[in-house]
Amino acid sequence: MAYDRYVAICNPLRYPIIMSKVLCVQMAALSWGLGFLNSLTETILAIRLPFCGKNVINHFVCEILAFVKLACTDISLNEIIIMLGNVIFLFSPLLLICISYIFILSTVLKINSTEGRKKAFSTCSSHMTVVIVFYGTILFMYMKPKSKDSAFDKLIALFYGVVTPMLNPIIYSLRNKEVHGAMRKLMSRHWFLRKQ
């Protein structure tokens, strides 16, 4: 999405040529393939672990780190692979997103008209909101120090697993003029009812 916004704003005349259907399919296939390989690697390493004692995961979901912590052996290899996956699949895309938005920002600041700048920023605003919500929660979930408060960990996992995906369609639909009209109507009705 960040690359799409980059091409749309920095190379608008070449957009249809650069962002072809073939490139979109290749990028999606690469993302899915790498995600599958990462999950497969972590699963194979987790299945090999011996488990003993009470095997109850104190979590909403069978999260890989919570599952691995049940093992009654050294899990340092699993933790290294999980951390490596976090760096590759969290920080690398975040770095690429930041670089693309630096280029976008420099291009937008060169636009002379206020209306043109506003349109370019509105094109990126929904994507940036989703990126901030997604990466904010996931980085907090995986990069925070180990805590003893499992309820807090569950709350973060719930926010990441349920609230963030639920917000995506809402955030992206806020650019729709019909949704804007419905929101204004709802807010004015709410304001009118409070006045009475």
pLDDT tens sequence across 114-125: 888 888 887 788
Is residue 53 classed as helix, strand or coil in its secondary structure?
Answer: coil
**Whole-model pTM above 0.75?**
no
Percent of the chain clearing pLDDT 70 (strictly above): 88
The yes-or-no verdict on residue 7 having pLDDT over 80 is: yes
Tokens of 49: 């672990």
Tokens of 115: 């209306």
User: Residue 9: is it exposed, middle or buried by C-beta count within 10 angstroms (0-12/13-18/19+)?
Assistant: buried
Of 195 and 85, which is predicted with more confidence? 85
Q: How far is CA 133 from CA 29, 171, 188, in A?
A: 24, 11, 28
Let me know: does 98 contact 6? Beta carbons within 8 Å. no
DSSP state of 161: I
Domains of the chain, earliest start first: 2-195 (1.20.1070.10)
Mean pLDDT of the chain: 82
Give me the long-range contacts of 7-15 (CB less than 8 A, separation at least 24): 8/123, 9/104, 9/107, 9/108, 9/120, 9/123, 9/124, 10/103, 10/104, 10/107
6-15, 55-64, 96-105, 123-132: the lowest-pLDDT one: 55-64
In the structure, what pLDDT confidence band is assigned to residue 196 with cuts at 50, 70 and 90? low
Q: Find the radius of gyration of the CA atoms of the chain.
A: 22
